């Protein structure tokens, strides 16, 4: 899983890293090319082209940095908390469907 290592507003760059076996992969990009921003854009496009998917459909896509924070705090394992978290208006950008979860 990619993790955000550093975000520098003054240089407009982000540094991401991923550990695999004994290797560490590093990815540096402009903030506008951020994997998290691309994920958010994908979520917006999915909401715009929403069709009823039924049960077991992907309701949200969460960037690795946010998901890592939720997992460390233990909140990711609590379905009631995650439902409330994803229904919060400030987290609308994570949802792939309109309305509430």
How far apart are the C-alpha atoms of 47 and 101, rounded to whole Å? 13
The full DSSP string for 27-50 is EEEEGGG-HHHHHHHHHHHHHHT-
By DSSP bridging, strand 13-20 and strand 3-8 are antiparallel
What would the pLDDT profile of 11-67 be if each residue is shown by its tens digit? 888 887 888 888 888 878 887 777 777 777 777 777 666 555 555 567 788 887 788
The answer to whether 2 touches 16, Cβ cutoff 8 Å, is yes
What is the rounded average pLDDT of the residues 70-80? Answer: 88
Q: Where exactly are the structural domains of the chain?
A: 3-94
Beta bridge partners of 16: 4, 27
The predicted model scores a pTM of: 0.49
Q: Determine which helix (DSSP H) or strand (DSSP E) holds 18, and give its type and residue range.
A: strand 13-20
């Amino acid at each position: 899983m990619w993790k955000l290592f550093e975000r520098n507003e003054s240089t407009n760059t982000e540094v991401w890293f991923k550990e695999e076996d004994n290797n560490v992969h590093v990815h540096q990009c402009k903030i506008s090319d951020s994997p998290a921003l691309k994920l958010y854009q994908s979520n917006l496009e999915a909401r715009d082209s929403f069709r009823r998917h039924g049960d077991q459909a992907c309701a949200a896509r969460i960037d690795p940095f946010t998901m890592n924070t939720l997992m460390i705090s233990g909140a990711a394992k609590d379905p009631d908390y995650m439902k409330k978290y994803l229904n919060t208006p400030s987290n609308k950008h994570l949802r792939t469907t309109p309305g509430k979860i």
